[in-house]
Amino acid sequence: MFNTIQVICASEKDKLILRGIFKNLGADAVFASDLNDALAVFEKARPAAVFTADGGEPPVEIQLREIRRVAPFIPVIPLLKRRDATRAVELMKAGAMDCAQSPWTEEELRPLYRKAVRLTGTPLELDSSALRNRRRSAALALAVFFAFAGFAGGLYYGYKKYSHKAAQPHSFALPYAHPTGIIIKKDSVLISDWFSQGLYEHSFKNFNITRVTSLPQVTPAAMTASQDALWLAGANGVIEKRLLDAGYSQVSRTPALSPLPDGACFDGLYFWTVHSASGVITKRMPGDALAELKKFKYPGKKLSAFTCDTRFLWAADPELRAVVKMSLEDPEKIVTRTELDAYASRTLKITALAARDGRLWFAGEDGGRGLAFYRDEPK
Amino acid sequence: MSLNSADSWIPAEIKTSLDLPPLWGRLGTLSPGEAELVSHFELPEGKVLALSFELGRAPFTDVRARIKKALRDGDGYYNYSLIFLDPAQSELLRAAIAGSLPSSV
């Protein structure tokens, strides 16, 4: 552990106290009487952290600014003369790692010192002579890297050539990467994206985008539809009912629901919402307020996307790597569990699901890229 | 179904009682119902705290929370798992977190 620290302290009495404390902590403390002294020896000392006593000139705020100008990532810990949380918080907002309170004792400073000198980051180097000295080792590292890259490339080529490819025969790339809901209409597919706060309508034939509707007031967390209406669940927990007209006119909105719904569907009779983190499935009346009827616990392992049709509830489960089918009457019981080939990709995150005409449609992201695909409904 | 984060660990003022001066620390994680607080001050499990901090531009004052669990790391810092006690304050937090979602990504 690199243990050189710099201490800025004008008072000789305080210096004496701090010298003893840091010696006991095993630190190699370089003392400076003021900021100018500190900056003068900063390059030579290369400290792992700076401790600066409060009450000196210039004020700690300016010292913080100047030290961070020279070394932006160095932990700076002001040593306060009294316990003043408001000032400590202000200094931390200004860039201090933490603040120590008075009286300065070994017990008080130990965690701060240890955390500060352990804090590591990307090493930055300006000294070119040091770089020259390391050229040989860098060349060696480069050779090892290329050897490894060649080996990994061969392995990847072999894997691609000889391993079974994840079957996604009906897959489409999306030009956005945060889909939250998918609806299958008669001749198009509608997908909501929370990041761009928009609804994207795709042609059913080639999946080209035919229309984009921006919803700047809503951050859609989930979406579902019936024959004549569309529901959008916002990140604030409010579910809006909208018409399926050109502008998706708003009809009604619920109060903020709890737990926060991030999946929703309408089975033709009842409305369903899910909170994926807790796995709570909520059955609701399909009125304007979507009044809660009953809560159920998701019977699988992890729910990442949810939908329903007139007969079943469906969920994508990344831990089971499967599509889970549940009964509308008893959602706490799994009817069937069917492995999903697409989960062969370990980076796939399915975030939206829809069921229509014997097909399940999925939307999500894989390695930072949005995608949608479908497969036949499992029996 | 996505996570977001602030651009730095949020500094927080910690009130433990009306008689004692407040302490300080940083919020490691924050959700409407729970938070993780990192501080070098030792506090007992079960203690009720009042936290003051800023989320985005919204100031939160005296958000009541109970220490569910306290763990000390190798450096001597304490990691506290907190549960927020006031549903009204949790709702305000939820709104603030939801409001900061797009800009924080």
pLDDT at A131: 54
Residues A190 and A260 reside in one and the same domain: yes
The arithmetic mean of pLDDT across residues B31-59, rounded, is 91
Supply the pLDDT for residue A117.
Answer: 84
A175 and A323 together in one domain: yes
Domain shared by A114 and A175, yes or no: no
Position B41 scores a pLDDT of 94
B2/A98 Cβ within 8 A: no
Nearest CA in chain A to B93: A236
- Together in a domain, A94 and A183: no
Q: Average pLDDT, whole number, for chain B?
A: 86
A111:B1 CB<8 A: no
CATH number for the domain that contains residue A52: 3.40.50.2300
Q: Are residues A104 and A199 in the same domain?
A: no
| Dihedral (Cα; B41, B43, B45, B46), 10-degree rounding | -130
Q: Closest CB to B77: pick one of A85, A111, A178.
A: A111
Write out the residue range of the structural domain in which residue A66 sits. 4-118
Give chain B positions within 8 Å (CB) of A256: 91, 94
Radius of gyration of chain A (CA): 30
Number of domains in chain A: 2
Q: Is residue A186 part of a domain?
A: yes
Q: A187 and A61 in one domain?
A: no
Q: What is the pLDDT along chain A (379 residues), one digit of tens a residue?
A: 578 899 999 888 899 999 999 999 988 899 998 888 888 888 787 888 999 998 878 889 999 998 888 888 889 999 998 889 999 999 998 889 999 998 899 999 999 999 888 765 444 444 445 556 667 777 788 888 888 888 888 888 888 777 665 555 588 888 898 999 999 988 889 999 998 888 999 988 788 888 888 888 888 999 999 888 899 999 889 999 988 888 888 888 899 888 889 999 999 889 999 999 999 999 998 888 899 989 999 999 999 999 999 889 999 999 998 999 998 888 998 989 898 888 888 889 999 999 988 889 999 998 888 999 988 888 7
Helix (H, G, I), strand (E, B) or coil at A106: helix
Query: How far does the CA of residue A379 sit from the closest CA of chain B (Å)?
Result: 28
Is B103's pLDDT higher than 50?
Answer: no
A296 with A369, same domain: the answer is yes
Residue A224's identity, in one-letter code, is: T
Q: Domain ends where: A101, A118, A135?
A: A118
CATH number, domain of A338, equals 2.130.10.10
> Are A98 and B40 in contact (CB < 8 Å)?
yes
Q: Could you say which of A53, A88, A118 is where a domain stops? A: A118
Domain assignment of residue A310, yes or no: yes
pTM score over 0.80: no
Q: Quick check: A256 and B26 CB within 8 A?
A: no
What was the pLDDT predicted at A121? Answer: 46
Same-domain pairing of A107 and A45: yes
Q: What is the ipTM of this complex?
A: 0.83
pLDDT at B4: 57
In a domain, A159, yes or no: no
Q: Is the Cβ–Cβ distance between A242 and A252 less than 8 Å?
A: no
Cβ neighbours of A115 in B, within 8 Å: 40, 75-77
Domains with residue ranges and CATH for chain B: 10-99 (2.40.10.220)
Residue B61 has pLDDT above 80, yes or no: yes
- With beta carbons less than 8 A apart as the criterion, state whether A223 and A272 touch: no
| Residue A195 DSSP SS3 | coil
Chain B nearest-CA residue for A181 = B1
Which positions in chain A have a beta carbon within 8 angstroms of at least one beta carbon in chain B? Answer: 83-86, 88-89, 92-93, 98-99, 108, 110-112, 114-115, 118, 178, 180, 194-195, 197, 219, 221, 234-237, 256, 260, 262, 276, 304-305, 349, 351
Domain assignment present for residue A344? The answer is yes
Paired with A241 in beta bridges are A231, A252
Contacts of B26 in chain A (CB under 8 A): 92, 98
DSSP per-residue codes, chain B: ------SSPEEEEEE--SSS--EEEEEEEE-SSEEEEEESS---TT-EEEEEEEETTEEEEEEEEEEEEEEE-TTS-EEEEEEE--HHHHHHHHHHHHHTHHHH-
Of B24, B52, B101, the CB nearest to A219: B101
